[in-house]
Amino acid sequence: MNIHKLSKQDSCLIVQINSSTNKSSLIELRENYPKLLTQFINPGSILNLQYLIFAIKQSYYAKKHNLLAAREFEVDLLMRISITDQIEEALTIAGISPKNKSYLIVSVGKIKELTQIQNWIVKNLDYSTDININNYKK
DSSP string of 115-127, one letter each residue: HHHHHHHHHHS-E
Residue 23 pLDDT greater than 90, yes or no? no
- Specify the number of domains making up the chain: 1
Neighbouring C-alpha atoms within 13 Å toward the C-beta of 7:
13
Residue 138 lies in a domain: no
The answer to whether position 53 is within a domain reads yes
Pick the more confident residue, 136 or 25.
Answer: 25
Phi and psi at residue 118, to the nearest 5° = -60, -45
Domain-located, residue 69? yes
Quick count: other Cβ atoms within 10 Å of Cβ 127? 17
Name the strand (E) or helix (H) holding 107. Answer: strand 103-110
Q: 87 with 75: CB under 8 angstroms?
A: yes
User: Would residue 79 count as lying in a domain?
Assistant: yes
Report the predicted TM-score, pTM, of the whole model to 2 decimal places.
0.91
User: What average pLDDT does the segment 51-72 reach?
Assistant: 97
Across the chain, what does the average pLDDT equal? 92
pLDDT at 110: 98
CATH of the domain at 71: 3.30.2380.10
Sorted by sequence, the CB contacts under 8 Å of residue 66 that are 6+ apart come out as none
| 3-class SS of residue 30 | helix
Residue 133 domain flag:
no
Pairing mode, strands 10-17 and 37-41:
unpaired
Specify if 134 maps to a domain: no
Show the domain range for 56: 2-128
Q: Per-residue DSSP letters for 41-92? A: E-GGG-SBHHHHHHHHHHHHHHHHTT--SSSSHHHHHHHHHHT-S-HHHHHH
